[in-house]
Amino acid sequence: MRKKLVAGNWKMHGSLAENAALLAALKPALEGIKAVVCVPFPYLAQAQAALAGSSIAWGAQNLSEQSKGAFTGEVSASMLLDFGCQYVIVGHSERRSLYGESDELVASKYVAAQAAGLTPILCVGESLDERESGVTEAVVARQLDAVIKLAGVGSLAKAIVAYEPVWAIGTGKTASPEQAQAVHAFIRSKIAALDADIAKQLVIQYGGSVKAANAAELMAQPDIDGGLIGGASLVADEFVAICRAAAK
C-alpha cells in the first residue's frame, strides 16, 4: 500500500523570523505524520536545526545537474546532503517556463539528485493552452519519457512524481478531483506498461491550489498519493490540515 506524502514548496518566500514561527507551529502539530518542506537554499540550515528528529523532512526546490565546478550561482546535490536534505523538487513548472529548463535538463537534475541519494520530486503538467488543445497526456508523457530515457523506469522506485497542471498553480483554480485523478491514472498506467510493480508503488502527488478546503476530496482519489503544496504550505493551519487529510 502506498503511503501518502505531502510536501510544501515554499518557493521564494520566508525570512528567518517567519520561518522560525512556521516551523515551530508545524513541528508539534505534525508529530507522527510524515511530511516534507522544500525551503529556499539559504534556509536549509534553519530547517535542519528546527526539524532534526521530527517527522518532518526537508528539501530544496532545485539543484544543479553538475556535481561541482565553475558554475556560478548553482548548488549541487552533495551540498544539499550536507544540510540533511532528503528531497529535492526538479522540473517545477516555474523552472521550466521562467528559467528555460528543458525536459532533458530536468532529467539530468533528476539523475544528479538520485546519484547523491536524494529523492527527486519530479514535477510534470500541462499549460492551459495544452489542456485546451487536448494534448495533456502527450505533454505529461513527453516529460516522463525524458526521465525514463536517461534514468530508466527502475529509477522511479526512488522518486516521487508530482502532477501539477500549470493552470492550477497559484491561480486558486484547482483541478477537479476527477480531472486530477484522470491524469494520475494515466501516469500510473503509462509506467505500468513498463513495470507494473514500480507503477503500483509510485507516489504521485497532486499540486495546484490545494488547500485545507479541497484536500480531502483530492486525497480520496485512488491514484492521488499526496500533494505538493505552494501557497497553503506557508500557512501553518492550512498545511497541517492538508497533511492530516492525506494521513487519514
List residues near ligand PGA by CB under 6 A: 9, 164, 169-170, 207-210, 228-232
Nearest approach, Cβ of 99 to ligand PGA (angstroms)?
14
> Rounded to 5 degrees, what are φ and ψ at 6?
-110, 135
Are 14 and 37 a contacting pair, CB within 8 Å?
Answer: no
Whole-number minimum distance, CB 212 to ligand PGA, in Å?
Answer: 12
* Of 79 and 230, CB closest to ligand PGA: 230
Instruction: Give the angle subtended at the CA of 241 by the CAs of 237 and 242, to the nearest 5°.
Output: 120
Which amino acid appears at position 77 of this protein?
A: A
Q: Among residues 36 and 228, whose Cβ is nearest to ligand PGA?
A: 228
CB-closest chain residue to ligand PGA: 230
Question: Looking at the annotation, which residues are catalytic?
Answer: 92, 164
Question: What is the closest distance, in whole angstroms, from the C-beta atom of residue 72 to ligand PGA in the complex?
Answer: 26
9 or 119, CB closer to ligand PGA? Answer: 9
Q: Give bridge partners of residue 163 from the DSSP assignment.
A: 124, 206
The contacts of residue 213 (CB under 8 Å, 6+ apart) are: none
Write down the least CB distance from residue 202 to ligand PGA, Å: 18
Q: How far is the CB of 82 from ligand PGA (least distance, A)?
A: 25
Residues ≥6 apart with Cβ < 8 Å to 227 = 6, 7, 205, 206, 207, 210, 215, 218, 219, 242, 246
Q: Which of 33, 30, 8 is nearest to 19 (CA)?
A: 8
Q: Which is nearer to ligand PGA, 208 or 226 (CB)?
A: 208
Closer Cβ to ligand PGA, 61 or 153, answer by number: 61
